[in-house]
Structure 1
Amino acid sequence: MLGHILSPYNISKYEWRILACLHENDLLTVSDLAFMAQIDKTRTSRHVESLAQQDLIIRMQDKIDRRCAKVRLTTQGDCIYNAVNPLVTQLKNKLFNGISAEDYRIFLNVLKQAKNNFTELSAGKCAEGKSAAENK
């Protein structure tokens, strides 16, 4: 469904998340962008390169630390975001039709906790057979 919305704009779901994060936050490093978009850094770097080649984002050297590059949306990238966002919002509304705001909030909190548990398990912080909450 999302791919169908994005394909006329020649962007992937990962690139859409990057554009959305940059729309909300003017200048971000690739590391910050990866964290915010919840995409691994290697994949984020690849998609940043693709978006830069399409002139949807631009890389800028940090004035203080020249080793650090930051990215931002171009005018064209902002136009793509503004064209796609209503379509993605419409899809989201259809997907969550009939679900109350409270249930939606609970759903997001459950997903966030599951992600945190997965991250802890992946890092080996949880003892086998115990939940993340029991380890705190």
Structure 2
Amino acid sequence: MLLLLGLGFAVNTLLLTSPLYMLQIYDRVLTSRSEETLVVRFNNIFMHSMQPAIISVWFKNSYRRLGMARKSKRASLHLTEKQSAMLSNLAHSRTGLVREVERAKILLEYAQGASIADIERRVGVSRPTVYWLIPS
């Protein structure tokens, strides 16, 4: 977490390079009419302009890794062949109640080891619904 704060501070500090560059140009280059100073200042600003972009990408990747979903701590679901067949019939039923059909699909997916996000996407229900319908 401290790394993320440091990276955020570095990016915001480096974003000040453009205003400082303009001040340097008006203060030093225009008054001295020096092309060499202008080239050096331009190279500096170019390098400092690229650093926030690089740090920003690194920051986003670090943040994504730290906030990435972990393996579920929920117990796995083991179904017998009879239970699996019953749930499969119910999942493909056209006359069953919608809630029961959804629960059967969710339980079958969960028993096969699918993640919550995959179940949510395949069955077409919200994440809270998936959490509510699978055993904890």
Q: Considering only CA atoms, is the larger Rg found in Structure 1 or Structure 2?
A: 2
Between structures 1 and 2, the one with greater strand share: 1
What range is the shorter-chain TM-score in?
A: under 0.3
Between structures 1 and 2, the one with greater helix share: 2
TM-score of the aligned structures, taking structure 1 as reference length: 0.21
TM-score of the aligned structures, taking structure 2 as reference length: 0.21
